[in-house]
């Protein structure tokens, strides 16, 4: 990246604006040098400088939903022109299950509601290390069940999706699998944006993209170390959904990867596994973007275009 030379990895070239962010981001200390509480504050401040503005076509309401161990904060995004119940989407933000909050994906959630023509319930699930695995999973399951059982109150139809980016994509994949395993009503869609699917993953982009902004391999290992009680839990399918050998008959999936992302190849592997299991799967790779592009819509035009396309995919499936 020095001297303005385009960053190329694995035959891909990083978007120029994303590369500028990477250069600037490299000047700040890694969050691995911070305690989790300080890291949350630092990343929240940084994200405010990158994200776009919330869609004015969406009404946003602060709500509370029951979690597995107590109430959770949440936000409900409803299109202003909604003339009645719309399909729903329970959304889980990114942050390695260690950082992030309802502001992390606020703009993107408003885009999903507006362009996707759905009611979005964004959930502030519990974070590690205060609440280690499987607390986030338990909260994600509780939030989906709440939305499913209270759809009318939330302005939703019974077509309710789950979705999220990074850690949120991981949680969404687990929710979809668990609903099938328990024989409960499955989501209408699982939206998996650069998801974590195997916490033991090695090789490929885990190595080639190990130093790419904003999610280095060191940061990912820091997240996993704070989230899991011990490394052996990475073998649990509730931590690594790619390890499940039972993907048949899952709900339709949208799987998104970014070209410059340590998680790229495990996202590709999950999309392939779903297709091999004959799950209706839409896969998109944004090869010139990096991890966390859903929070860069204010400064990276390619990220905004990608988010709009993802929202259109959501609309296509939920309104089918």
- Closest residue by Cα to residue 168 from 226, 250, 99: 99
DSSP H helix total and E strand total for the chain: 10, 10
Catalytic residue among 51, 165, 261, 265: 261
Dihedral over Cα of 116, 195, 102, 295: its sign: negative
Q: Are 299 and 174 in contact (CB under 8 A)?
A: no
Do β-strands 71-79 and 119-123 pair in parallel, antiparallel, or remain unpaired? Answer: antiparallel
Q: Are 31 and 303 in contact (CB under 8 A)?
A: no
For the chain, the first-to-last Cα distance in angstroms comes to 44
Catalytic residue among 166, 172, 205, 244: 166
- Closest residue by Cα to residue 112 from 35, 191, 173, 8: 191
Q: Are 178 and 186 in contact (CB under 8 A)?
A: no
Q: Which two tokens stand for residue 191?
A: 């939206």
Catalytic residue among 165, 198, 291, 313: 291
Residue 291 vs residues 73, 100, 210: alpha-carbon distances, Å: 25, 14, 12
Q: Is 261 a catalytic residue?
A: yes
Distance (Å, rounded) from C-alpha 261 to C-alpha 257?
8
Question: Which of the 8 DSSP states describes residue 185?
Answer: P
Q: Is 131 a catalytic residue?
A: no
Q: Is 319 a catalytic residue?
A: no
Catalytic residues: 166, 261, 291
């Amino acid at each position: 990246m020095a001297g303005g030379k385009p960053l190329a990895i694995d035959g891909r070239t990083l978007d120029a604006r994303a590369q500028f962010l990477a250069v600037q981001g490299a000047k700040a200390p890694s969050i691995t040098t911070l305690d989790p509480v300080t890291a949350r504050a630092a990343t929240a401040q940084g994200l405010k400088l990158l994200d776009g503005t919330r869609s004015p076509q969406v009404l946003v309401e602060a709500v509370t939903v029951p979690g597995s161990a107590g109430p959770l904060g949440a936000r409900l995004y409803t299109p202003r022109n909604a003339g009645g119940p719309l399909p729903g989407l329970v959304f889980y933000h990114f942050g390695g299950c260690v950082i992030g909050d309802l502001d992390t994906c606020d703009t993107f959630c408003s885009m999903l509601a507006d362009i996707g023509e759905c009611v979005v319930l964004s959930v502030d699930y519990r974070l590690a290390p205060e609440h280690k695995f499987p607390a986030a999973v338990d909260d994600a399951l509780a939030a989906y069940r709440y939305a499913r059982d209270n759809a009318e109150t939330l302005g939703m139809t019974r077509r309710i999706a789950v979705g999220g980016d990074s850690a949120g994509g991981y949680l969404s994949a687990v929710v979809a699998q668990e609903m099938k395993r328990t024989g409960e009503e499955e989501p209408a869609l699982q939206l998996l944006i650069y998801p974590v699917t195997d916490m033991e993953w090695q090789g490929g982009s885990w190595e080639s993209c190990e130093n790419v902004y904003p999610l280095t391999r060191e940061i990912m290992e820091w997240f996993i170390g704070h989230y899991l009680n011990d490394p052996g839990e990475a073998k649990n399918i509730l931590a690594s959904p790619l390890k499940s050998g039972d993907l048949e008959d899952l709900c339709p999936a949208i799987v998104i990867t970014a070209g410059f992302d340590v998680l790229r190849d495990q996202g590709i592997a999950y999309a392939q596994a779903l297709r091999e299991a004959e799950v209706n799967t839409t896969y998109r790779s944004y090869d010139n973007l990096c991890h966390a592009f859903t929070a860069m819509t204010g400064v990276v035009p390619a990220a905004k275009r990608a988010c709009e396309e993802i929202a259109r995919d959501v609309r296509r499936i939920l309104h089918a």
